[in-house]
Structure 1
């Protein structure tokens, strides 16, 4: 294996995938949300950089072609597990996350079954769009977690009537609670919409790969 820049970035992105979950083991929220968000965004950016670098400087390799989609899937799957868990199994997140996870397992199984002919399941432009949509949605949902826990930190020690008084305008909002609530609601809504878009694109690419693989799944007649 050639340790060129694209391959090094891909390996680092693969190592960053479990790092997103580890942030929540060693840091309290919202710091864990911040660290996970930054780590995920940086890793997602390297996905574009290593592809561009490999094409620009003719450093494409079989190792990179094999590991790159694995790193992408690991990032998305682990981040979705974290977000789904901390969302309290919110169905608006759980359902699209289930579609995405099912597709990734299904296509991986197809590739394993096809063996030497798995090359027909090449990454399409639509598949690249779905990866972009997945990573964007996840980053936005991590940002929503940052705002949510910033709100909780600012209301620490307050009782519910006091919080309600500030949010309704009866008491001056000197600590920005209203801003935090609006920011959290907006980013969460955008993140959920993007996640559903990503789930739709994911399902479409899964069906496309299945259609291409169907001729190779038929039993041959004796």
Structure 2
């Protein structure tokens, strides 16, 4: 493997992918949420830099071309697994996550089957927008988990009626319950909307790849 800077960044992103889940094994929340968010954002930023630098410095390599989409998929799949696992298993969250995971596995299988002709399934501009939407959605959903956990910590031990009085404005909000609730709601809805957008782009690009691969899937006689 040629150890130029773009390939090093790609490799670090690949290593960071399982680190997102490991954060929740060794740290308590909300620290795990913060560490996972920072790690995910850092890895997402390198996704842009390694491609840009490889093209600008003419350091594109076969190993980098192979590892780049693997690192992207590993990050998205592991992060979605963590988010769904720590959520209330809402179907509005599980369904788009399922579409995304299914498409990633399906397209990877197509590329493996096509072998030398896998170049037919080159990454399209729409697929890059799909990856961007996925990463932004996941980052926002990690942020929602942070707001949710801080809200729970602030309200811990409070009487439900007192919480209702604080949120309705009848009692002074000394612990910031209202802004934490607003932050949780906004990041929740925005993250979910972006995840559905990413799921729609995921299905569109998946069908596009299948259409391109169909001529190579026909039985020869």
* TM-score calculated relative to the size of structure 1: 0.98
Counterpart in the other structure of 2:216: 216
SS in 2 for 1:219: coil
Q: Distance in 2 between matches of 1:28 and 1:85?
A: 15
Counterpart in the other structure of 1:164: 164
Q: Distance in 1 between matches of 2:74 and 2:216?
A: 27
Counterpart in the other structure of 2:182: 182
Q: Distance in 2 between matches of 1:99 and 1:43?
A: 23
Q: Distance in 2 between matches of 1:92 and 1:3?
A: 42
Counterpart in the other structure of 2:200: 200
Q: C-alpha displacement at 1:159, in angstroms?
A: 2.1
Counterpart in the other structure of 1:30: 30
Unaligned runs of at least 5 residues, structure 2: none
Q: Distance in 2 between matches of 1:26 and 1:70?
A: 25
Q: C-alpha displacement at 1:114, in angstroms?
A: 0.7
In the alignment, structure 1 residue 102 sits paired with structure 2 residue 102:
yes
Counterpart in the other structure of 2:42: 42
Q: Distance in 2 between matches of 1:54 and 1:200?
A: 30
Unaligned runs of at least 5 residues, structure 1: none
1:31-73 CA-to-partner distances (Å, cap 9, x unmatched) read 1111111100010000001011101111110000000000000
Q: Distance in 1 between matches of 2:72 and 2:215?
A: 28
* TM-score calculated relative to the size of structure 2: 0.98
Q: C-alpha displacement at 1:163, in angstroms?
A: 1.2
Q: C-alpha displacement at 1:88, in angstroms?
A: 1.9
Aligned counterparts, 1:1-222, within 5 A: 1-221=1-221
Q: Distance in 2 between matches of 1:23 and 1:80?
A: 14
Q: Distance in 2 between matches of 1:89 and 1:172?
A: 33
Moved over 6 A (4+): none
RMSD: 0.7
Q: Distance in 1 between matches of 2:41 and 2:162?
A: 36
